[in-house]
Structures are given as structure tokens and as C-alpha cells.
A and B are shown apart, each in its own frame.
Chain A
Amino acid sequence: GENVEQHPSTLSVQEGDSAVIKCTYSDSASNYFPWYKQELGKRPQLIIDIRSNVGEKKDQRIAVTLNKTAKHFSLHITETQPEDSAVYFCAALIAGGYQKVTFGTGTKLQVIP
């Protein structure tokens, strides 16, 4: 089955700096890669996703890049703000009639004011 590794497990950055979280996956058939943000005590929520037919996607201060050859994808947050502090999960799955998602173990991001 699919295996997703996520690094780092914790990340501290100064407000205004950039943050990068990296994930690797094992199943070359995976073709959809969402990122979820989970604030303390709350539910995970989708923040951005990327499909296998594109290499990069951007939404304001967040962007995701995908390298299918190397089987890795990354989340980039620029101009970080205190409200970006949360746990971020990457995931990988094979598109199909249903979704069985494999999540990474999460990255706890702390943005220091």
C-alpha cells in the first residue's frame, strides 16, 4: 500500500519568514495530493491540493509543488503569520470511485511573532 513520509515533524519560523514542509510517497499510481491544516483542538481542513498533471499550484501565500519522478511534493508558506501556526498534514491517494487516503504524520508549525 501507499506510504507517505512527512518532514519535519516540527518547524519554528519567525513571522514573515517562509516555511517549507516536504512529503514523499511510495505508490507511483497516486495522482492526487491534498494538504490539510489542523488548528489546535479543531478538525483538519483542506487548504490546497495538487493533481498529478501539474507541477505547481499557488493560492495567495501558500503553494504546493509536485515532482512525480522523485515522488515528492512540498508545501510552501510565504510571509508567515501567527495564524499559520497549526499542524499540517500531507496526503496521497489514487483517484478512483472512492478515496482511501494515506496521511503523513504531520508537521507542527509554530510562527513566532
Chain B
Amino acid sequence: NAGVTQTPKFQVLKTGQSMTLQCAQDMNHNSMYWYRQDPGMGLRLIYYSASEGTTDKGEVPNGYNVSRLNKREFSLRLESAAPSQTSVYFCASSSGQIQETQYFGPGTRLLVL
């Protein structure tokens, strides 16, 4: 049982390049989330998927797109990377039931030059 996994662990992009961050969970969770973490800013929600087949914007969705490929996988795409998107990205999942824990992946450190 690996929990929540993310790839890649680290990525360097040039401004304007695109990339997709991958996330998968093996806990049969319904809900999945993408956060970004910047120094002093805590965790900010980019997009979330309450259940398979649905996605919704979070607090900071501009510049990102997501795909809930199936129940296990939730990807985050940067179509045209900008230096402001330099951050650590965390994927998380939860069962989707009332009042329970979010489980985080190990994070992806992204540097946009």
C-alpha cells in the first residue's frame, strides 16, 4: 500500500514550457486535490476532484488544468509555465466522507526559469 504517489519529484522548466504532474492513490479514495506550497503562504488549493468524473477550481486555478483520469489518478498540467509557478506541489486524497483525513503525496518541487 503506497498511499499517494507523485511524479516527478523535481523538475526544472523554462518559461513557456509545458508539463504534467502525475498523482496516484491506492486507498480507493473518492476525493483528490492539488495544492501548491510557497514560503509563508501555507497550502493553497489549485483544483480538486470530489469524485471520479468531476473537477472544480480551488483558490488559485489560473495557469493550470487538471484531469481525473480514473478513480486512482489525478494529473495537473501547466500549459505554459511561468516563474510565478515555481513552487512545491502536493497532491492529496481523502475518502470523501465526512470529517476525515487528507493524505498527502511526497510533493513535486518545480523550478521555472
Q: Point out residues on A near B: beta carbons under 8 Å.
A: 6, 9, 31-32, 34, 42-46, 49, 51, 89, 95-101, 103-106
Stretch at the interface among B20-28, B68-76, B94-102: B94-102
A44 touches B94 (CB 8 A): no
Which among B40, B98, B101 has the highest number of chain A CB atoms within 10 Å?
B98
Residues of B within 8 A of A104 (CB): 42
Is B2 interfacial (CB-CB < 8 Å)? no
A96 touches B98 (CB 8 A): yes
List residues of B (25-65) whose CB comes within 8 Å of A's CBs.
30-31, 33, 40-45, 48, 50-51, 58
Closest CB in chain A relative to B71 CB, distance in Å:
14
Partner of B42, one of A89, A96, A100: A89
Assess A98 versus B50: contact at CB under 8 Å? Given A103-B43, A104-B42: yes
Interface size on B, residues (CB 8 A): 25
A100 touches B51 (CB 8 A): no
Tell me the dominant secondary structure on chain A's binding face.
loop
Stretch at the interface among B11-19, B78-86, B104-112: B104-112
Q: Kindly list the 9 A-B residue pairs having the minimum CB-CB distance in the complex, ordered from nearest.
A: A98-B50, A43-B104, A105-B42, A95-B98, A32-B99, A103-B43, A46-B101, A95-B99, A103-B42
B98 touches A101 (CB 8 A): no
Enumerate 10 A-B pairs (CB-CB under 8 Å) in ascending A order.
Answer: A43-B107, A46-B101, A46-B102, A49-B99, A95-B98, A97-B96, A98-B30, A103-B42, A103-B44, A106-B40
A43 touches B96 (CB 8 A): no
Residues of A within 8 A of B50 (CB): 97-98
